[in-house]
Amino acid sequence: MKILKAIFAAAALTLPLFAQAQECDIEIAIANITKGDVVPEAISSKLEGKLTRALAKAGIVAASYDAQFFIAGRFDDAYNDIISGPSQKSVVKTTLTLYIGDADNQKVFASESFDLKGVGASDEQAYTRALNQISATNPQLVNFIRKGKEKIIDYFDSNYTTYINNARKAMASRDYDQALFYASAIPSCCRGYAEANALAMKIYADNTNYMGDKLLAQAKAAWAADPTEAGAREAHKYLSQIDPAASCSGAANALSSEISKTTKKQWEFENVQKHKDAISLEKQRINAAKEVAVAWAKSRPRVVNRYHFVTVRRW
């Protein structure tokens, strides 16, 4: 059911998402930035925006969920004071240390420190001006993200068989959401992507057929229990959810026709077929599978303090 619902949500986004996937669909979550009490809360949001833009320039998507790979960091203030006088000023000298890591395996892939200074009418303005020294095209930041990206690609090149095997195991137990998570995890620029993508489409098809058979059985039961217009309405509630690519699609259409003849009313047998007219089914399925994989990732229990190892002071 999650896959069927995901198709509708994915249809409008498919073309841009598929274009990104063709480049290299690596996703990195931006974790909360660790900071001292004196650092204004708004600064974390400003830094997150900078990191999101920097990741985008490197061809990386800033994940909106608790992804395996993340970027995080902390501010360590060497100096924070207020200059009194006719025009009071806040002065800050701080070191921002960023990390790119693997939360599942508790590894840091890349780290970089930025020495920053800022002066403003308030603490927030002082930190904002300090952050202005880092842009999305800052060579130091660009090189840091490049190193992290290379490490992530190396990780998948070395471990893609594990993901494929996990996907097959989950598929065998009909845990299709988990199976799609593993099969869809390998970025398009990594070794094993073609094999994993083919497996994802097989998982998608198997789930489509499995869910289609269940929905058809429910539709038949509803119609057999009440062969009236009310029963027809209940039966079509199930029939309308069957993917036209399901192996039972022909039987579903036949039942719909039978119901229409019996009730003397033409029922609209609407399903995801209309989305096939907008974009190619293959692209649609790739992104529908990805949507399900993300939903499964979001539902996983989170590890407490999964980013705790990034809080070590570096000076």
Give per-residue pLDDT as tens, 103-148: 888 899 999 999 999 998 888 888 889 999 998 889 999 999 999 9
The domain in which residue 127 lies consists of 24-158+303-310
CA–CA distance, 217 with 154 (Å, rounded to integer): 46
The one-letter code for the residue type at 72 is: A
User: Are 121 and 227 found together in one domain?
Assistant: no
User: Are 37 and 130 found together in one domain?
Assistant: yes
- Residue 2 forms part of a structural domain: no
Residue-wise pLDDT for 19-77, tens only, equals 333 467 898 988 876 655 556 778 888 888 899 999 988 888 888 777 889 998 888 87
User: Are 166 and 295 found together in one domain?
Assistant: yes
DSSP at 119 = E
- Residue 3 forms part of a structural domain: no
- Residue 47 forms part of a structural domain: yes
CA–CA distance, 182 with 214 (Å, rounded to integer): 25
Query: Is it the case that residue 15 has pLDDT exceeding 50?
Result: no
- Residue 193 forms part of a structural domain: yes
pLDDT of residue 306: 42
pLDDT of residue 245: 85
User: Are 163 and 289 found together in one domain?
Assistant: yes
User: Are 202 and 269 found together in one domain?
Assistant: yes
Q: Tell me the CA distances in angstroms from 7 to 11, 188, 246, 271, one per residue in order.
A: 6, 21, 14, 11
* Contact (CB, 8 A) for 149 and 60: yes
Residue-wise pLDDT for 217-253, tens only, equals 999 999 999 998 899 989 989 998 888 889 999 999 8
Residue-wise pLDDT for 260-274, tens only, equals 887 766 555 444 444
Closest CA to 153 of 200, 102, 115: 102
- Residue 119 forms part of a structural domain: yes
CATH label of the domain that carries residue 67: 3.40.50
pLDDT of residue 48: 87
User: Are 171 and 111 found together in one domain?
Assistant: no
pLDDT band of 2, cuts 50, 70, 90: very low
pTM above 0.75, yes or no: no
Q: What's the structural domain count of the chain?
A: 2
3-state secondary structure of 77: strand
pLDDT of residue 36: 55
- Residue 259 forms part of a structural domain: yes
Q: H helices then E strands: how many in the chain?
A: 11, 5
User: Are 105 and 124 found together in one domain?
Assistant: yes
User: Are 60 and 125 found together in one domain?
Assistant: yes
CA–CA distance, 10 with 211 (Å, rounded to integer): 19
User: Are 149 and 167 found together in one domain?
Assistant: no
- Residue 46 forms part of a structural domain: yes
Closest CA to 95 of 107, 110, 111: 111
User: Are 31 and 109 found together in one domain?
Assistant: yes
- Residue 15 forms part of a structural domain: no
User: Are 29 and 148 found together in one domain?
Assistant: yes
User: Are 169 and 243 found together in one domain?
Assistant: yes
* Contact (CB, 8 A) for 133 and 164: no
